[in-house]
Amino acid sequence: MATSPSHSSPESAIIEQVITEFFAKSLHIILESRSPYVSSRNYTVDQFMSSPSSSCSSSSSMPRDKWFNLALRDCPAALENFDIWRKSNLEPLVIDIILIRRALVPDVARPLGGCLLRNFSENSDLALEPKSWKIVERWIVQYERHKSSSSKNHKDIRKCGTKNNGGSSCSSETAFYKKTYKRYIILFRSLYVFIRLLPTYKLFHELNSSGQICPLSLSHRISSSIQPFTQEDEAKMNQFTFVPIDTPRGRLSLSVQYLRTLEDIRSEPSAPLSLQFILDYIGSPTTDPFRRLKSLPSAQSSPALVSFTRQHSWSNDHGALASVPLCPSVACSEACGIRCNPSLCLPPLTHRNDHSPPVISEPQNAAVTHKNNMSFDEFWPSPFSPTSSPSSPAHLPGQRSPNALQSGSSQIDIAKAHPITASQTKACSSEGKLQIKMDTLRYGNYQTGPTLVKGFPSGKDDTEKLAELPSSSTQGPLSRSFSGSSLLDKFDDSGFACPFADYKDVTESCNRRSPDAVVGAVVQMLLTAAPLRQDLSNLCRPPQVFMDESLNPCVQHDQANTEQSECPASTSEVLASVLLKSKTAAEGLEELRRYKELKESILKQGASRSSDVDSGPKSAGTNDQS
Amino acid sequence: MNCETCQLKELVVEPPEIREVLRCILHTILFHRALGLVRPKDVECELFDITYVQCEDHELEKKIDEKINQFIGWVEKHPNRKSQVCISFYEVKNKHATWFGNKIERFYWEQWYINLHIISPKPHGKSHNTKAHVVTGENAFEESNSRCAALESSLREVLFQIIKFVNEKKDHIPPLQNSEIVSYPYEISTPR
């Protein structure tokens, strides 16, 4: 005869305890392999202490984690959630494993699966904001009570009671429990193995072992109600149900619905637009600077702030406008501008000894470059420039080119632009070019010292100057020198006749230099500028040849006047002396005009004399013709 | 008592993969039949993207490794053949004392048959043509990768098959006599 079970009886308490521990164990196993960073794997201390609870019966002396002969480490997340849930034992336990995809926003800079994220600005960081989530698994643990008392379980219980000769229902239930205990054990063994074969475990394992912040993360949600999936989601999911275990008064069941594959979710593009620029930029310190500059957007594209702001970080004096440096190195110090190829930033031709602000006397395109040069002067840094110079054109109305970024990005295109200016400077002597190269290296690679000497032949002066440079690199990697020389090679390869060719783009891109650097660069340009006298000498060549014997070109005159005490042994020294005494282009042209007039006058005189001698016969001839 | 038999799906393996495959399957079966108190130990397969579970019992691991070595030795002598590894669970009953000694009877209540088809790795075709050799090498590499992926998938199916079997068949399992014993008595049989 079946008797109605009494909840106050200890045997019923045992069954209740088993049911309670069944839920707890299920939750423990599931969360331990699905909840990153709170899994017991991350805890080194083994704790085999049963958590005190109000419903924990005194008869249960077995620690919780050893229930069902499966010793698990303490899982705080599971226990915490279970303590919250256990108030309603008869409600189903629904555990949703959720895959969260987060988007990176400018808040905190953190490594992201190999891609290094930089600060977007000095005061902003990157952060992960939840973007989308999806339930990838749903575990349902529930206890269904039998409505009818005359169930198979009761028959089995009675059998157990009869076998044990106890006769009472309590002892029969205990015997039944002992008989069915191995079923619980096997079920949890299967659960432990099965949960590690599901697709989500792989993701959990990756997240738990990487330690890096990833846009994907796993979370869980525990509830007591079952929210049905959509048909579309159900079609993508498999279901597995463990064989239910009967209890004297009900049945315990455990089932799972899981996505067959997570590849489609993981492969969904979720990277924000800014990340694409970051990827380009991340490769830039070790990649070719031209490659990096090519990939940079225009100044108008606001999300592309990473690289721009990096330059801003070392050129803080120049406001919010970002400019792309010519130097690829990420870790630019204040001397970053030095590492740039100064050949790109050289101003138009000016007199070397003209310390005053350059006069706009060049052709139109040169005037443009000169105008930009003024802004360039303002910002060009130089280690050799004085810290402050009253003559530094810091106050010059140099315009900050809105296309500074484009100019920086068009570093390679400088050779293609401004063919007129390139033609003007074709007459740069080889020595001048060499001087330019030396200065280039001096600016770009002064930290590497002797390597500069090795690469290029130079005169004594240059050698001495280079010897003064530090012999070891004090800042930055050696690769800077290679970048500088590579830049130089690039210009040579592209047919860039003279680094003086174009200044517009260069100067615009150099607007970020400090005033001291700009002044130093101007001084250097003036010192290394090709002599204007050369062009004039070329232009004057035909009349010079004509007048060489009679009037002597001003070169000789200048030499006679100014270089009496000097006997220049080489052409370069002659040119240098000529440079000192060279006149402006206007004066040269004026001189030319005078020479031409003089020539014409001489020719006329000669012609008139000859005409006077032949005036008689010629005039008769002329009359006959008319 | 009935003896439940489970024929696992045949796996096509190469000799270097035998150890990993057998370890995965044998430990999974034993984990479901070691009903004593165990502390599970997760093991990542070296050759496959599969995590299986071991009972943290050194004696168990040692015995399994010995049997695997024995099987590998047999494979080396008999290459390119189909073979079986059988793991049986029994209980000892009726120790009959006879004139010739104690006769111990074993009643097998469960047997698992692990079916393996051992194949030899395909050697690269000799070709004097460099290009053809490169192409052949690339094809062999792709073929090897696809075969390995198929094996991993098959191995995963075998593990699911084990889980399904142990969940559905429980009545034949004898009661636990002593919870201190980790596993039911078992024996692993390899071809001789």
| Helices A169-194, A152-163: inter-axial angle, 10-degree rounding | 120
Q: Do A71 and B160 touch (CB under 8 A)?
A: no
The answer as to whether B43 is a domain residue is yes
Using the 8-state DSSP alphabet, how is residue A229 labeled? P
In this prediction, residues B20-48 reach a mean pLDDT of 93
Using the 8-state DSSP alphabet, how is residue A66 labeled? G
Q: In this prediction, what percent of chain B has a pLDDT beyond 70?
A: 83
Is the per-residue pLDDT at A465 higher than 70?
A: no
The answer as to whether A372 is a domain residue is no
A187 → chain B, closest CA residue: B167
In this prediction, residues A138-146 reach a mean pLDDT of 90
In this prediction, residues B114-123 reach a mean pLDDT of 87
Provide the pairing of β-strand B101-118 with B4-7. Answer: parallel
Provide the pairing of β-strand B4-7 with B11-13. Answer: unpaired
**pLDDT confidence bin for A524, thresholds 50/70/90:** confident
Predicted confidence at residue A18, as pLDDT, reads: 87
> Closest approach of chain A CAs to the CA of B24, in angstroms?
11
B1-12 per-position pLDDT tens digit: 578 999 999 999
Q: Which residues of B fall within a CB distance of 8 Å from A202?
A: 49
Between positions 122 and 181 of A, the ones with CB within 8 A of B are: 179, 181
The structure tokens listed for A153 are: 């379980």
> Closest approach of chain B CAs to the CA of A248, in angstroms?
17
Q: How far apart are the C-alpha atoms of A283 and A295, rounded to whole Å?
A: 11
Q: Do B166 and A190 touch (CB under 8 A)?
A: yes
User: B29, B41, B42: best mutation site toward chain A, by most A Cβ within 10 Å?
Assistant: B42
pLDDT, greater one: A14 or A273: A14
Predicted confidence at residue B98, as pLDDT, reads: 61
Mapped onto helix, strand or coil, the DSSP state of residue B35 is coil
Which residues sit opposite B12 in a β-bridge? Answer: B117
Q: Do B167 and A197 touch (CB under 8 A)?
A: no
B182 → chain A, closest CA residue: A69
The answer as to whether B141 is a domain residue is yes
**pLDDT confidence bin for A574, thresholds 50/70/90:** low
The answer as to whether B127 is a domain residue is no
Predicted confidence at residue A217, as pLDDT, reads: 85
The answer as to whether A57 is a domain residue is no
**pLDDT confidence bin for A521, thresholds 50/70/90:** confident
Most confident residue range from A430-439, A580-589, B152-161: B152-161
Which residues sit opposite A221 in a β-bridge? Answer: A96
**pLDDT confidence bin for A581, thresholds 50/70/90:** low
The overall average pLDDT reported for chain A is 60
Between positions 98 and 127 of A, the ones with CB within 8 A of B are: none
Contact of A196 with chain B, judged by CB distance below 8 Å, is answered with: yes
A143: alpha, beta or left? (left if phi > 0; alpha if psi -120 to 50): beta
Most confident residue range from A167-171, A364-368, B125-129: A167-171
Count CB atoms within 10 A of the CB of residue A321. Answer: 16
Is the per-residue pLDDT at B159 higher than 70?
A: yes
The structure tokens listed for B156 are: 């995963």
Of A123, A131, A126, which is closest to residue A115 (Cα–Cα)? Answer: A126
A31-90 per-position pLDDT tens digit: 989 987 555 554 444 443 334 443 334 444 455 678 888 988 777 766 666 666 566 667
Contact of A400 with chain B, judged by CB distance below 8 Å, is answered with: no
Predicted confidence at residue A584, as pLDDT, reads: 81
Q: How far apart are the C-alpha atoms of A188 and A174, rounded to whole Å?
A: 21
In this prediction, residues A568-578 reach a mean pLDDT of 60
Contact of B183 with chain A, judged by CB distance below 8 Å, is answered with: no
Predicted confidence at residue B175, as pLDDT, reads: 80
Between positions 210 and 269 of A, the ones with CB within 8 A of B are: 242-243
Q: In this prediction, what percent of chain A has a pLDDT beyond 90?
A: 12
Predicted confidence at residue A576, as pLDDT, reads: 62
Q: Do A193 and B35 touch (CB under 8 A)?
A: no
A206-253 per-position pLDDT tens digit: 887 776 767 788 888 988 888 898 898 899 999 999 999 988 888 999
The answer as to whether A208 is a domain residue is yes
DSSP of A390-415: TTSGGGS-----TTHHHHHHTSGGGG
Q: Which residues of B fall within a CB distance of 8 Å from A181?
A: 176
Is the per-residue pLDDT at A204 higher than 70?
A: yes
The structure tokens listed for A549 are: 């014997």
pTM over 0.80: no
B183 → chain A, closest CA residue: A69
Q: Do B32 and A72 touch (CB under 8 A)?
A: no
Contact of B186 with chain A, judged by CB distance below 8 Å, is answered with: no
CATH code: domain of residue A138? 3.30.900.10
What are the strands, taking DSSP E only, across chain B? 4-7, 11-13, 40-44, 51-55, 82-98, 101-118, 186-189
Q: Which residues of B fall within a CB distance of 8 Å from A183?
A: 170
A349-364 per-position pLDDT tens digit: 444 444 444 433 334 4
Q: Do B167 and A190 touch (CB under 8 A)?
A: yes
Least confident of A68-72, A154-158, A197-201, A230-234: A154-158
Q: Which residues of B fall within a CB distance of 8 Å from A197?
A: 50-51, 156, 159-160, 163
Starting at the earlier edge strand, list the strands of the sheet with A237-247. Answer: A216-223, A93-105, A127-145, A250-259, A237-247
Residue A533 has φ and ψ, to the nearest 5°, of -60, -30
In this prediction, residues A586-603 reach a mean pLDDT of 91
Of B59, B58, B75, which is closest to residue B22 (Cα–Cα)? Answer: B75
DSSP of A418-444: -HHHHHHGGG--HHHHHHHHHHHHHHH
Q: How far apart are the C-alpha atoms of B6 and A166, rounded to whole Å?
A: 38
Provide the pairing of β-strand B4-7 with A250-259. Answer: unpaired
In this prediction, residues B105-117 reach a mean pLDDT of 93
CATH code: domain of residue B85? 3.30.900.10
The answer as to whether A256 is a domain residue is yes
Contact of A188 with chain B, judged by CB distance below 8 Å, is answered with: no
Q: Do B35 and A182 touch (CB under 8 A)?
A: yes
Q: Do B53 and A192 touch (CB under 8 A)?
A: yes
User: B89, B168, B170, B180: best mutation site toward chain A, by most A Cβ within 10 Å?
Assistant: B170
pLDDT, greater one: A463 or A168: A168
Is the per-residue pLDDT at A475 higher than 60?
A: no
Q: Where are the alpha helices (DSSP H) in A510-553?
A: 515-528, 532-539, 541-547
Domain that holds residue A139: 11-37+64-102+134-145+172-266
Q: Do B35 and A69 touch (CB under 8 A)?
A: yes
Domain that holds residue B111: 4-91+103-117+135-189
Measured in whole angstroms, the distance separating CA A152 from the mean position of its chain's CA atoms is 69
The structure tokens listed for B86 are: 């059988």
Count CB atoms within 10 A of the CB of residue A398. Answer: 21
- Say which residues have a Cβ less than 8 Å from residue A349's Cβ, sequence separation at least 6: A362, A366, A424, A425, A500, A529, A530, A532
**pLDDT confidence bin for B132, thresholds 50/70/90:** low
Is the per-residue pLDDT at B111 higher than 90?
A: yes
Q: Which residues of B fall within a CB distance of 8 Å from A242?
A: 167
> Closest approach of chain A CAs to the CA of B32, in angstroms?
6
Q: Which residues of B fall within a CB distance of 8 Å from A179?
A: 175
Predicted confidence at residue A1, as pLDDT, reads: 43
A96-131 per-position pLDDT tens digit: 999 988 776 665 544 444 444 443 444 445 555 667
The answer as to whether B126 is a domain residue is no
Q: Do B51 and A72 touch (CB under 8 A)?
A: no
Q: Which residues of A fall within a CB distance of 8 Å from B50?
A: 197
pLDDT, greater one: A402 or B180: B180
Q: Which helix (H) or strand (E) holds A600?
A: helix A585-613
- Say which residues have a Cβ less than 8 Å from residue A54's Cβ, sequence separation at least 6: none
The answer as to whether B112 is a domain residue is yes
The answer as to whether A339 is a domain residue is no
User: A75, A193, A202: best mutation site toward chain B, by most B Cβ within 10 Å?
Assistant: A193
Is the per-residue pLDDT at A273 higher than 70?
A: no
Measured in whole angstroms, the distance separating CA A271 from the mean position of its chain's CA atoms is 14
Is the per-residue pLDDT at B50 higher than 90?
A: yes
Number of inter-chain CB pairs under 8 A, A vs B: 68
The answer as to whether A1 is a domain residue is no
User: A40, A189, A194: best mutation site toward chain B, by most B Cβ within 10 Å?
Assistant: A189
Task: State the total domains in chain B.
Answer: 1
Q: Which residues of A fall within a CB distance of 8 Å from B175?
A: 179, 182
Q: Which residues of A fall within a CB distance of 8 Å from B166?
A: 186, 189-190
Q: Which residues of A fall within a CB distance of 8 Å from B49?
A: 202
Predicted confidence at residue B143, as pLDDT, reads: 84
Least confident of A346-360, A528-542, B89-103: A346-360
**pLDDT confidence bin for B181, thresholds 50/70/90:** low
**pLDDT confidence bin for A379, thresholds 50/70/90:** very low
Note whether A342 and A439 are within 8 A (CB).
Answer: yes
